[in-house]
Structure 1
Amino acid sequence: MVERDPDVESAAATVTDEPSGTGRYMYAVCRGLDAHALDGVEGLGGAPLATVQHDELTAVVSTVMLSEFGEQPLRRHLEDLAWLEPVVSKHDEVVRAISVSAPTAPLRLATICFDDDAVGARLREWYLPLMQALDRVDGRAEWSVKVVVSPRSEGSTDPEKPVLSGADYLRRKKEAAQGRVASESAAQELARSIHEDLSRRAVASRELPAQDARLSGRPGTMVLNAAYLVPDEAAEPFAARIAEIAAGNPELLVDGRGPWPPYSFAMLEQR
């Protein structure tokens, strides 16, 4: 599944009562889109991409079947990972193609309107928040940084040391627990320092909820999950600083990725 922060939020226009027919799936809204930016890029189900214009704003859309993307079917599908993964992947692919060419405000997954007139109405409704969001991310991209403490760094008993008695076993368990607490506390403090360092090198930052190891695929305890909005001209120094931090802290997994479309920073205030 494409790793994308689940915190992507923006106003949604969901079709509520149409069991059949078609709707328009909105991927993102941008400004100043290059005419050839979407050449060779398809929408969901291989549908051609189209644009809807309102003043400076351009919404990128494609046609979807409401039997699949209407409100009731969506409630079922959003709990089905086999259905969800390719939809998330395609949504992200289209957003990335747009963001290469123009400042882009990605929309929440499955933002659906009945038709192009309804898309235009949404653009008019969201005009000021969208313009503000696009101003905020123009010439900037998102970087993700996750810091994980590996299980070996979290404190453990020595498997080679023999246990002499029940009391000895309990004492060693207590020492191991204390070691884990001390290690986690130190890791949290180090993560805070890393976040402050990277935040100074970005124009905005956002801390996100830590991901469970079963979802992130990273064994250990995640002590930092953050997004940073970085000017395009500062991307290389920012990536270099992440590499320096990783090299200087071998006891941690420091996973930095980017540049990405600004999912965490192009949100609309309205819901």
Structure 2
Amino acid sequence: MTTTSSASRAAVDTTTAVYVFAVCPRRAAPDLAGVPGQPGGGSVRLLPAGALSAVVQEVPAGEFTEAALHDRLSDREELELCARAHHEVVAAVARSAAVVPLPMATLYLDEGRARQAVIDDAHRFVTALDRIEGHVEWGVKVHVGNGDDAGAGTTSRTGGPPPGEKPASGRAYLDRVRGRRQARENREEAALRIADRVDAGLRGVAVAARRLRLHGPEVTGKHRRQVLNAAYLVEAGRERELRERVEALGREPGFGDGVRVELTGPWVPYSFAEGGAADGHD
């Protein structure tokens, strides 16, 4: 990311910066007509860089200084607008070519610097493009019911008896506490086994996989828990096989009604554009 110097601030409203969305093979000819890119910028186009092309757009420099970006991206609506514009450009390229997305708001002062940056990092880009060409990303999430909510309202947080019930003896109380602890541990182990079974079952279809950071209750809700959030790099054309595998896993004994296996995609392989050929936890 670049910022303008103090000497050029007076002209910042008329200067431009080069926004780089992604990198693709130079032989690629994606249809970028009508793809708007970032609001207020010029046409989205290809910038040749050796054997590669950068997907670029000229944007007003004053709107992409470090301070301006901080203000814009701190606003949720502005953040969503910028992220959606970035993704639409990447997706347009991905419809006809392998593409390595770059982080949002990757900027250079001019075309020459943008071109040289791609050339300097060409080996990494070529390696990533070779890995993902002809493949798409699929997401799989597994949720289980949160058994801790099953008895809500019948016992207190301290493990005491329900209102009106005779207090248990000390030993009975400790046995009940131990029983609840053991039940939680059993549920945890069962949930981890389910996640591992789904993950192992899908790796036979995928050429690479990544287990991503789990979502918390603010996303999943308090009555269910996410035990697997993974991305799989799958050869294009094997979608039916993947779907059938997911459906079969969801019917396996031991999963029960409280287990939900969710498949999403296909997506641009964001998770595998930066070395995702190896397993990882992000």
Name the TM tier (shorter chain): 0.7 to 0.9
Q: Deviations over 1:154-212 (max 9, x none)?
A: 56327579832343788656544432331122011110111111112111111111122
Q: In structure 2, what is the Cα distance between the partners aligned to 1:43 and 1:217?
A: 34
Amino acid at match of 2:124: P
Task: Confirm or deny that 1:210 pairs with 2:214.
Answer: yes
Computing the radius of gyration from Cα coordinates, the structure with the larger value is 2
Q: In structure 1, what is the Cα distance between the partners aligned to 2:223 and 2:78?
A: 26
Q: Deviations over 1:240-267 (max 9, x none)?
A: 2223323444322222111111101111
Decide which moves more: 196-205 or 168-177.
168-177
- Aligned residue number for residue 260 of structure 1: 267
- Aligned residue number for residue 16 of structure 1: 3
Decide which moves more: 157-166 or 238-247.
157-166
- Aligned residue number for residue 5 of structure 1: none
Contact 1:155 1:176 survives alignment (8 Å): no
Decide which moves more: 202-211 or 239-248.
239-248
Q: In structure 1, what is the Cα distance between the partners aligned to 2:110 and 2:238?
A: 40
Amino acid at match of 2:2: V
- Aligned residue number for residue 99 of structure 2: 104
Contact 2:40 2:60 survives alignment (8 Å): no
Q: Deviations over 1:127-162 (max 9, x none)?
A: 1110111000010011111112223x4563275798
Greater relative contact order structure (CA < 8 Å, 6+ sep): 1
Decide which moves more: 244-253 or 163-172.
163-172
Please, which runs of 5 or more residues in structure 2 have no aligned partner? 156-160, 277-282
Contact 2:201 2:245 survives alignment (8 Å): no
Amino acid at match of 1:156: A
**Mapping for residues 130-145 of structure 1, pairs under 5 Å:** 130-145=125-140
Query: Matched residues, percent identical?
Result: 33
Match for residue 246 of structure 1 among 246, 250, 253: 250
Contact 2:246 2:263 survives alignment (8 Å): yes
Please, which runs of 5 or more residues in structure 1 have no aligned partner? 1-13
Q: In structure 2, what is the Cα distance between the partners aligned to 1:213 and 1:64?
A: 39
Contact 2:100 2:128 survives alignment (8 Å): yes
**Mapping for residues 89-168 of structure 1, pairs under 5 Å:** 89-151=84-146, 153-154=147-148, 156-157=150-151, 163=162, 164-167=165-168
Q: In structure 2, what is the Cα distance between the partners aligned to 1:261 and 1:140?
A: 9
Using the size of structure 2 for normalisation, the TM-score is 0.80
Using the size of structure 1 for normalisation, the TM-score is 0.83
TM-aligned CA distance change 1:120 to 1:180, over 3 Å: same
3-state DSSP class of the match of 1:63?
strand
